[in-house]
Structure 1
């Protein structure tokens, strides 16, 4: 099970909870590093995710299929709310979300497959990593300086926090962009991530029945191209917050990896 993901979700959420009382009304309205979202909108996004986890809305075919546009819609629904109302929703729903994710670590429900619209299908226990990724990424990259506007600092990310976020990203990588990303990989590519959250995996061309890429642990012996980055930087460039060329070093045939890196966009 992904109990490490659960621990990471709790620790990053606790760090966000420590930051919130230090943010004043003017700072909540500053532009975040998420295009078009203020700092309060980033928190509204996290609050919306938490509320939907504890009280899932009924299916609505009129909602955007694109996950980013769906998130924009949910944020837009809260733009008329006061700061206090957004904070109240986050404080009310987040502990309940964490409790639900904790319960999802236990069999038999842990291995049930859950479809996350626009993002793919995951074992229920991995949803803890989804929250760990969301809170870690938005807090450290979109809200806090140097990427975001808030002049507060946190301790350096732990290995557990980074690894949990990266585990979700790698699980989502074959699914989120489907054939678009699959078409960019014709040969095995090694992704070598170092530092906190370090891991090495190989992106394999599509051979699965669903026609998608595979992510295999370790460095495949047939891979002649390697992409090197820190795991912390991977969270930044693989979500297209920053250009991958500023953070990656390649060995072998760079042309084999460039189309994949240009296309990759983990949500």
Structure 2
């Protein structure tokens, strides 16, 4: 189970609350590294996700869609003209309610209940907490706070507490989210992630989805090595993997096809 993700999510929530408290009127309106979203919109998005998780109503794409990003855009647009105070207040309220609800999903039978999450795939409910840790980690460190984002703030922790759940979600979601692009996988590829949250896994061909298996493959066609923190960036297509020091050994052209196909939400 992923009960440790609850501790990570509470820690990430506090980072957001501290950031909200520190933002000037001008900083709320700065463009983030999420295309078309201001700092305020990113926080509104994180708040809207918590509203949904706790069973509340928020805007969805029209016409209806299973595309997570279209639905996220609709929820942000619903909050576009809210005051920054209202956005911050909703985040504080909805996050507290949702995290308590998520804590109740970490034991059977609910933890193992698989639910559809649109184009994110079908996942057991206990992974929802990991997904939100990933969402917070990504938005805070890669979209809001410099160097990726516009806000000059001290670096936030990039440790096992946070990167462990973030990596759990990314590796669990990769086969379904990237199914079309990864259909070219016909030989195993090792993925080695260094630093906090790291470890070794390998991709195995399969139908309809590839599999992510812990440990190295005996017959890997290539080995890809990256820092786990950087994987959050290139694994979501925020930055090209070629620019982040990713090392490839073995069949480099084949590995490049696989890496280019990875785009996790």
TM interval, shorter chain, is over 0.9
| TM-score relative to the length of structure 1 | 0.94
1:1-267 to 2 correspondence within 5 Å? 1-57=1-57, 62-178=63-179, 180-207=180-207, 211-247=208-244, 248-267=246-265
Does the 8 Å CA contact 1:133/1:165 hold for their aligned counterparts? yes
| TM-score relative to the length of structure 2 | 0.95
What SS is found at the alignment partner of 2:126?
helix
What SS is found at the alignment partner of 2:119?
coil
Displacement of 1:212 after TM fit? 0.7
C-alpha separation between the residues in 1 aligned to 2:217 and 2:252? 17
Does the 8 Å CA contact 1:185/1:257 hold for their aligned counterparts? no
Q: Which runs of 4+ in 1 moved over 3 A?
A: 56-61
C-alpha separation between the residues in 1 aligned to 2:156 and 2:80? 31
Name the count of aligned residue pairs. Answer: 263
C-alpha separation between the residues in 2 aligned to 1:61 and 1:149? 31
C-alpha separation between the residues in 2 aligned to 1:8 and 1:85? 25
Between 1:110-119 and 1:22-31, the stretch displaced more is: 110-119
User: Unaligned stretches of 5+ in structure 2?
Assistant: none
Does the 8 Å CA contact 2:61/2:70 hold for their aligned counterparts? no
60 and 230 in structure 1: CA distance in 2 versus 1, 3 angstrom threshold: closer
Displacement of 1:5 after TM fit? 1.5
What SS is found at the alignment partner of 1:226?
strand
What SS is found at the alignment partner of 2:147?
coil
C-alpha separation between the residues in 2 aligned to 1:177 and 1:8? 26
Q: Say what the alpha-carbon RMSD is for the aligned residues.
A: 1.6
C-alpha separation between the residues in 2 aligned to 1:175 and 1:128? 18
What SS is found at the alignment partner of 2:151?
coil
What SS is found at the alignment partner of 2:146?
coil
Between 1:147-156 and 1:54-63, the stretch displaced more is: 54-63
What SS is found at the alignment partner of 2:88?
helix
C-alpha separation between the residues in 1 aligned to 2:166 and 2:61? 29
What SS is found at the alignment partner of 1:118?
helix
C-alpha separation between the residues in 1 aligned to 2:227 and 2:255? 17
Q: Give CA deviations for 1:187-241 in whole Å, capped at 9, x if unaligned.
A: 111110000111111011114xxx1110000101011300100000000101011
Displacement of 1:65 after TM fit? 2.8
C-alpha separation between the residues in 2 aligned to 1:60 and 1:81? 19
What SS is found at the alignment partner of 2:149?
coil
C-alpha separation between the residues in 1 aligned to 2:119 and 2:247? 30
Does the 8 Å CA contact 1:174/1:181 hold for their aligned counterparts? no
Q: Give CA deviations for 1:236-266 in whole Å, capped at 9, x if unaligned.
A: 1010110011121100011111111112110
Does the 8 Å CA contact 2:61/2:71 hold for their aligned counterparts? no
Between 1:59-68 and 1:26-35, the stretch displaced more is: 59-68
C-alpha separation between the residues in 2 aligned to 1:224 and 1:30? 44
User: Unaligned stretches of 5+ in structure 1?
Assistant: none
